[in-house]
A = this chain, B = another copy of it.
């Protein structure tokens, strides 16, 4: 049951996150004590607080303060408050199950037991938002109701479940081919190769550097003949350069964000000075989305949208100010403490500053609106621009995911979890993020496997892969300057090949569960509390996940571990996989188990009376037979409702058959 309440003056503009028309209640919002710019609620000691989608720390968000403010911050440390997304949904799973959606495009803070361990305190500079309150029988039904409210999730093509390799950068066609060839030589399946910013001509969106990629269209199509998809990055900022069509059109038509006087707003990112497309203006959004056509016409069928928080390295005024300030210290040899730190501070405060966001404006439905107030909608609408255009430009599904997001964007694309690090703790983090992302509709998602920044190690990458093999987006991605981490770079290539073969064998199951979750407003990754809500132990577990209806996973995320503890809320069949065709099974009782797990092994637990179908892997998804399946069954009467479709039709045209 959903009820809507207007808090303060309500959301400053419609975020278009919600797709249903709901009449606001005349009464005050229940549960909350509203006072000034805060609304607060008492938490019971056993309440789990889920939600907030892409955030740091545990799956249970209690004990920290989170700020919804889309941020390009590559240091995903425990103490950070914001990441790239703004996903203002909270689910309290206690004696009652309650969902809250705080719908506002502005910054909003969730103090979940930080100030007071027993209080949830929500605050904004001015408390104006649309509040949706959902109660239900259980957590899954609260989520389902919420998901119905915000509309069906984006559905990715089947081929995008293949293994994907990325790096900042494979800057030339030759580099791309080397990756493709090395994977082939190592007999490891590969589906996509990514192009990071260097493929463009001086970082100009929708251009190609012809020296690095001569005959781009031919190159794309040659790869495609081999069922390899090339996925270029699109950045939000459009380079300021006389004669560059995208820039010229944007200026001419007033499609860029402006300063308060209506002049295109100057900021700088990779290309140097850029203007930001005003994606909150429907005309500009349509224009920008259609720009993707130039790449689509070359045969490109997938994109990743980046730097769309939007990220600002600097604005010319504040850069000038900063450099002038530092220059004013010229000739001083004995800086005192404050002076010395002010140098670093000045430069540190340059990027992604609220001062700059506060000077940028949108033309949203004819109304000039300050960017700071609607900041969290930018990435959403950039991706919506692409998604809306693809609906017209392409016959088939397009792979699309974004870094920044707000609820609502899930209808147009997925997300990746941004610039993580080659840290063991970042394997664990994925497990906490996935279910919370699923709650707000982001089903096609995944983390940079192996870790984006910092140097990886072979064992870390292998453990990343062993979790990532369950995520729809399974992409290995790394930063410039880090150790190379393609799977063929390491000593135990055989283990990596076996693991990727296992991923491919799992694709029918994963895709089936994924599409069913999209169509039925459900979650692909569920905390154990969603199924075993009366089991106190199960409720506390954050490092095991239910994946679809048949299985539970328990990844390893500690270096040098010889195994791990696993709790079974009911008897299950354990499968210890080394590859699709090399595994052991064992029936385990309900309760606590320590399971020995080698570095090349993956644990899967099959639920009672469920079965896990496995396909024969191939070097490409397109070459696989999705109906030639073997089953691992837990129980003679085990069944599975298997969904499959053609994998590309925009409106899923498949059907369910019951496997047994």
Seen from chain A, the residues whose Cβ lies within 8 Å of a Cβ on chain B are: 57-58, 60, 62-64, 77-79, 113-114, 116-117, 203, 240, 266, 268, 270, 272-273, 313-314, 316, 319-320, 323-324, 326-327, 329-337, 340, 343-344, 347, 421-425, 454-455, 457-460, 491, 536-537, 540, 542, 558-563, 565, 567, 592, 594
Contacts and interface: CB of A to CB of B under 8 A. Distances in A.
Contacts of A337: 203, 270, 272
B323 A327 contact: yes
B314 A340 contact: yes
Contacts of A536: 562
A421 B272 contact: no
Number of copies: 2
Given A63-B459, A327-B323, A273 B559 contact: no
B336 A272 contact: yes
B333 A491 contact: no
Nearest to A116: B491
B333 A320 contact: yes
Given A78-B422, A79-B455, A326-B327, 5 more contacts: A62-B560, A272-B334, A319-B333, A540-B561, A565-B594
Contacts of A330: 320, 323-324, 327
A313 B558 CA distance: 36
Contacts of A57: 559
A57 B113 CA distance: 29
Output the residue of A330, A336, A560, A563 with the most chain B CB within 10 A. Answer: A560
A441 to B, nearest CB: 25
Contact of A273 (B58, B334, B454): B334
Contact of A592 (B64, B425, B457, B565): B565
A175 to B, nearest CB: 19
A348 B459 CA distance: 31
**7 smallest A-B Cβ distances: which pairs?**
A327-B327, A79-B454, A316-B333, A78-B423, A540-B562, A565-B565, A273-B334
Nearest to A333: B316
Contacts of A592: 565, 592, 594
A326 to B, nearest CB: 5
Which of A78, A114, A273, A558 has the largest number of chain B CB atoms within 10 A? A78
22 contacts: A62-B559, A62-B560, A63-B559, A64-B559, A79-B422, A79-B423, A117-B458, A117-B459, A240-B334, A268-B340, A316-B334, A323-B327, A323-B330, A324-B330, A327-B327, A343-B347, A537-B562, A540-B562, A542-B560, A565-B565, A565-B592, A592-B592
A560 B537 contact: no
Given A63-B459, A333-B319, A79 B421 contact: yes
